[in-house]
Amino acid sequence: MKLLEELAQSLERGDSQAAADSTRGAIELGLPAQRILDDGLIAGMAVVGRRFKAHEIFLPDVLLAAKAMYAGLALLKPLMIEQAVATQGKVVIGTVQGDLHDIGKNLVGIMLEGAGFEVLDLGTDVAPETFVDTAVREGARIIGLSALLTTTMPVMRKVVEAVEKRGLRPEIRVIVGGAPLSAAYAAEIGASAYCFDGISAVETVREMLGVER
Amino acid sequence: MMPAAPRQILPIEGGAVVSAVATVLEAQGVPADVTPNRRTVELAEDAARMFQRLARPIGVWASISLADFAGVFGGEGHNAPETPVDQTAGRADDLALFAVTVGDALPSRIAELFARQEPALASMLDAHASEGAELAAHHLQNRYVDWLSGTGRLGAESGALRYSPGYCGWDVSGQRRLFDYLVPEEIGITLRDSFLMQPLKSISGVIIAGHQEIFDFENTFGFCEECSTWACRERIGAVLGGMPDETA
Ligand code: B1M
């Protein structure tokens, strides 16, 4: 449908005003929220993600697209709640205890939201139990941890252990990322996956939750 | 009584730590050979203005003897067996510990922009703040070199290079002893148990001054392979080719 195509294209251009206008138009036309979400917002961000991965566009372009996506999403949210629209799944993310770096974690959160996941961002300096409690309370099946210092990486192991101790594995999976991390470290602490960046986080979460592209 | 080692607190002029748009765009992943689009450039310029309004750059340096530095560098015993830091410092004429920050208003503003769903501006401001902290460290290093020159201690063909805990085999746990000696709390920088400094956009380390030849080394250290920045090569190149300038 043309209006939803325009919505998707407004995201690609990073045009927040046009994204808001198209979303409003689609709502006024009575289109179901799920369709506006899937064929407009998520479709637009998917193209942006692909072009970013192919190095045709760069981080600032992706983030301008994300801003446009948020402009549309803000209008769509009430309708999504009213129509009980299901997201692709919930992901709890945060920067581990002792660490205050949040840019990387924020970017990963934006990428996940752009792919249609509901992101519960706990912020920085988050205690292991808080991650697990939130995931259980919210029914999230993925916990995403970020750390930027070698000294805070060991907290990730504590989160994995807390998930295990409460018998929540394999229902709840822990994925990890951040500059000093590696796939080997993730394996060593028993995390389910290491994600190099936001794109790999999206691909990993999709695979884990069995979401089709 | 021994005279106290020279120590200076230096407020830094905001303009001295504003990076070129091209530098910030590169930090944002826009390759140098790509012409950025107009909106991206505008974003970087807006962020530069915001950065200049919010930045409160300040630094502190304190001279340290080679013997005292050996104690600071030893930290908590987690350094790599061989590092360019102790090898270079061992042949230096002068050493100073330092810390700089661009202040705490920036991280708060960046977080606020993310919360207001302005991720592009937030990320660009973050890049300006990170680059600004590097420029502040560079500025402080140059002021220390000026001070050395003023005292007649810096001979011909001399240079200075800085290293930081967390880089080049100097374990980040070295921060504890560095803080004990330098007391950067006096300029508002504190250290958490995880060795993270607050404000976030802060840098600490040692400035090593001496004859140019002491800075050159072959990259034979194991940790160089894991290094993501390789920034040392550029800085070593600057020392070997003459003293670094303000904008390097
Ligand atoms: C849930 O799933 C997931 C999935 C993917 C996930 C994820 C979660 N979380 C992250 N990801 C991933 O996706 C994101 C998007 O692509 C990425 O997130 P990032 O957060 O990594 O990426 C950001 C978007 C951009 N990246 C960044 O902003 C960090 C880049 C590097 C070069 C860096 C920078 C810029 C800075 N630093 Co410094 N810094 C380094 C970094 C080395 C590197 N190449 O990463 C790192 C983190 N720093 C380091 C150090 C040592 C330090 N730094 C310091 C200072 C600074 C600056 C101020 C100059 C600046 C700003 C820091 C900041 N982040 O605000 C000091 C500490 C500051 C403090 N407050 O304590 C200081 C201690 C140095 C000193 N003594 O002064 C190193 C830590 C090493 C360690 N042992 O822990 C370091 C890894 C560099 C190195 N040695 O290679 C991925 O990692």
- pLDDT tens, A80-121? 999 999 889 999 999 999 999 999 999 999 999 999 999 999
Residues B50, B18 contacting (CB under 8 angstroms): no
With a 6 A CB cut-off, is A37 part of the ligand 1 pocket?
no
B25/chain A closest Cα distance in angstroms: 9
B5-23 b/e (C-beta count within 10 Å ≥ 16 → b) = eebeebebebebbbbebeb
Residues A62, A90 contacting (CB under 8 angstroms): no
pLDDT confidence bin for B225, thresholds 50/70/90: confident
A199 and A100 in a common domain: yes
Q: Which chain B residues touch A100 with a CB distance below 8 Å?
A: 107, 192, 196, 198, 200
Say which of A63, A100, A152 has its CB closest to residue B119: A63
Mean pLDDT of B190-219: 93
pTM, two decimal places: 0.95
Say which of B30, B192, B194 has its CB closest to residue A58: B30
* ipTM passes above 0.90: yes
Helix (H) or strand (E) holding B60: strand B58-63
A135 and A104 in a common domain: yes
B114/chain A closest Cα distance in angstroms: 8
Residue of A nearest to B191 (CA): A98
pLDDT of residue A147: 97
Is B39 an 8 Å CB contact of chain A?
yes
CATH number, domain of A176, equals: 3.40.50.280
Could you tell me which residues are beta bridge partners of residue B9?
B60
Is B25 an 8 Å CB contact of chain A?
yes
A36 and A95 in a common domain: no
In percent, the amount of chain A with pLDDT more than 90 equals 97
Domain boundary among A64, A82, A100: A82
A35/chain B closest Cα distance in angstroms: 23
Interface test with A, best of B106, B112, B114 (most A CBs within 10 A): B114
Domain boundary among A24, A57, A82: A82
pLDDT of residue A146 exceeding 50, the answer is yes
Q: Which chain A residues touch B165 with a CB distance below 8 Å?
A: none
A149 and A63 in a common domain: no
Q: Chain A residues contacting B, CB < 8 Å?
A: 14, 55, 58-61, 63-64, 66-67, 70, 74, 98-103, 106-107, 110, 149-152, 179
Residues A25, A19 contacting (CB under 8 angstroms): no
pLDDT of residue B227: 80
A191 and A104 in a common domain: yes
Say which of A14, A74, A99 has its CB closest to residue B39: A14
B171-196 b/e (C-beta count within 10 Å ≥ 16 → b) = bbbbbbbbbebbebeebebebbebbb
Q: The domain B7-240: what is its CATH number?
A: 3.40.109.40
Question: pLDDT tens-digit profile of A181-203?
Answer: 999 999 999 999 999 999 999 99
A71 and A6 in a common domain: yes
Write out the residue range of the structural domain in which residue A180 sits. Answer: 90-209
Is B38 an 8 Å CB contact of chain A?
no
Say which of A61, A100, A179 has its CB closest to residue B196: A100
A50 and A126 in a common domain: no
- How many structural domains are present in chain A? 2
With a 6 A CB cut-off, is A183 part of the ligand 1 pocket?
no
pLDDT of residue B242: 53
Mean pLDDT of A43-50: 96
The mean predicted confidence, pLDDT, of chain B is 92
CA-CA distances (angstroms) from residue B206 to A132, B23, B175, B181?
Answer: 41, 25, 11, 12
Residues A76, A27 contacting (CB under 8 angstroms): yes
Question: pLDDT tens-digit profile of B119-163?
Answer: 999 999 999 999 999 999 999 999 999 999 999 888 888 999 999
Q: Where are the domains of chain B?
A: 7-240
**A143 burial level (CB within 10 Å; 0-12, 13-18, 19+):** buried
CATH number, domain of A17, equals: 1.10.1240.10
Distance, in Å, from the CA atom of B30 to the CA atom of B28, rounded to the nearest integer, reads 6
Residues B146, B168 contacting (CB under 8 angstroms): no
